[in-house]
Amino acid sequence: MTISAGQKMPSGVFGVMTDKGPGAISSEDLFTGKKVVLISVPGAFTPTCSMNHLPGFVNEAAKLQAKGVDTIACMAVNDVFVMDAWGKDRDVGDNVMMLADGNGEYARALGLEMDATGFGMGMRGQRFAIIVDDGVATHVAVEAPGQFEVSKAEAILDAL
């Protein structure tokens, strides 16, 4: 079942890069007591994700924070090394937390996985953005296949 507004975010663990190497953060630590914008992209270094989706949130970080967002987090079904390298390549700095959903378990828990085997990418997460307030999804914006409208930074700013 796909998550919808008003539902509690599922429990899970994301990979993150730390100063000491690969680490982890639980969904509880990420969401509890905070307002978080969680975005998901089908893959790091892919064209729309790299040129539009992630950079939009980096560029609009100050406006999102001004509307009460504590954390902007980007997840993809990639490993922690890829997510770290992609974050450096896109110069996210401290604006966006890069989360690895290496096996797609969190995308599956959200009901937002997609089959990209036709593109040689295996199972991935759909393109989406979720506004989470203290562990509860308050706005869920899932893109139709091939689209990039409802999950971009400007649309999320309007939803806040």
Q: Tell which residue, 81, 83, 39, 46, has the closest CA to residue 60.
A: 39
Residue 54 lies in a domain: yes
CATH number of the domain enclosing 56: 3.40.30.10
Residue 3 lies in a domain: no
Q: Which of 13, 30, 36, 49 is catalytic?
A: 49
Residue 17 lies in a domain: yes
Distance CA 104, CA 99 (A): 11
- Give this prediction's pTM: 0.94
pLDDT in tens, the chain (160 residues): 899 999 999 999 999 999 999 999 999 999 999 999 999 998 888 777 777 889 999 999 999 999 999 999 999 999 999 999 999 999 999 999 999 999 999 999 999 998 777 777 768 789 999 999 999 999 999 999 889 999 999 999 999 9
The tally of domains found in the chain comes to 1
Phi, psi of 146 (to 5 degrees): 75, 5
Task: Identify whether 49 is a catalytic site residue.
Answer: yes
Q: Which amino acid is at 151?
A: S
Residue 1 lies in a domain: no
Residue 113 lies in a domain: yes
Q: Which amino acid is at 150?
A: V
Helix (H) or strand (E) holding 65: helix 61-66
| Domain extent at residue 147 | 13-159
